[in-house]
Amino acid sequence: MHRRAVGLAVVLCCALSSRAQESPVGKVFKAGGKWTYTVSENKLTGALYGIFELKANEALSDGISSGVPNFIIMCGGPAKAPTWINSKLISPIVLGKPSEFAAHAMQQTVVLRADSKFHTHFWNMADDFTTFFVDKGATKELIGSGDARIQFRDASENQQVAVFSPGGISQEMLTKACGKTFAQPTAPSNPALEEVVTNSEAAKGSPAAAVGLANVGHPLSPEEMADLVQKGQASKCAVVTVPPGAEVEIDGNKAGVSPLVFVLLKQGDSPRTITIKMTGYKTFEKKVVPDGKTIPIGLTLEKQ
Looking at the fold, whether 274 and 160 belong to one and the same domain comes out as no
3-state secondary structure of 97: coil
pTM above 0.75, yes or no: no
Residues 264/267/269/271 CA torsion (nearest 10 deg): -50
Residue 10 scores a pLDDT above 60: no
Whether 204 and 152 map to the same domain: the answer is no
More confident residue, 211 or 162: 162
Residue type, 240: V
Res 88: pLDDT: 97
Judge whether 220 lies within some domain.
yes
Phi, psi of 181 (to 5 degrees): -55, -45
| Greater model confidence, 206 or 260 | 260
Domain that holds residue 274: 191-300
Q: Stretch 158-164: mean pLDDT, rounded?
A: 96
61 and 174 belong to one structural domain:
yes
User: Quick one: 71 and 212 in the same domain?
Assistant: no
Q: What is the CATH number of the domain that holds 80?
A: 2.60.40.1880
pLDDT of residue 281: 96
Whether 202 and 279 map to the same domain: the answer is: yes
Q: Give me the helices (H) in 6-57, please.
A: 8-16
Q: Which amino acid is at 5?
A: A
Show the 3-state SS of 171-238: HHHHHHHHCCCCCCCCCCCCHHHHHHHHHHHHHCCCHHHHHHHHHHCCCCCHHHHHHHHHCCCEEEEE
**Residue 185 forms part of a structural domain:** no
Would residue 32 count as lying in a domain? Answer: yes
Give the C-alpha distances (Å, rounded to integers) separating 47 from 2, 8, 43, 44, 162.
Answer: 10, 9, 8, 8, 31
Structural domain count of the chain: 2
Task: Looking at the structure, tell me whether residues 87 and 234 fall in a common domain.
Answer: no
Q: Give the total residue count for the chain.
A: 304
Decide if 111 is inside a domain: yes
CA 253 – CA 195 distance, rounded (Å): 21
* Whether residue 133 is found in the same domain as residue 206: no
pLDDT of 7 over the 60 cut: no
- On the question of pLDDT at 146 being above 80, the answer is yes
Q: Is residue 183 part of a domain?
A: no
pLDDT in tens, 84-134: 999 999 999 999 988 876 667 789 989 999 998 999 889 999 999 999 999
In this structure, the answer to whether residues 6 and 69 fall within a common structural domain is yes
CB of 258 closer than 8 Å to CB of 199: yes
Residue 224: which CATH number? 2.60.40
Work out the average pLDDT over 247-263.
Answer: 94
% of the chain with per-residue pLDDT over 90: 60
Amino acid at 161: V
What is the distance between the alpha carbons of residues 101 and 251, in angstroms, rounded to a whole number? 70
Q: Quote the percentage of the chain above a pLDDT of 70.
A: 88
128 and 250 share a domain? no
- Residues 131 and 276 both lie in one domain: no
- The pLDDT tens digits of the residues spanning 14-64 come to 444 444 456 678 789 999 999 999 988 888 877 788 999 999 999 999 999
pLDDT band for position 3 (cuts 50, 70, 90) = very low
184, part of any domain: no
Q: Is residue 186 included in any domain, yes or no?
A: no
**What pLDDT does residue 101 have?**
66
Of 127 and 6, the one with more pLDDT: 127
Residue 57, domain member (yes or no): yes
Judgement on whether residues 94 and 219 belong to the same structural domain of the protein? no
Amino acid at 195: E
pLDDT-wise least confident of 39-48, 86-95, 164-173, 198-207: 198-207
Quick one: 268 and 218 in the same domain? yes
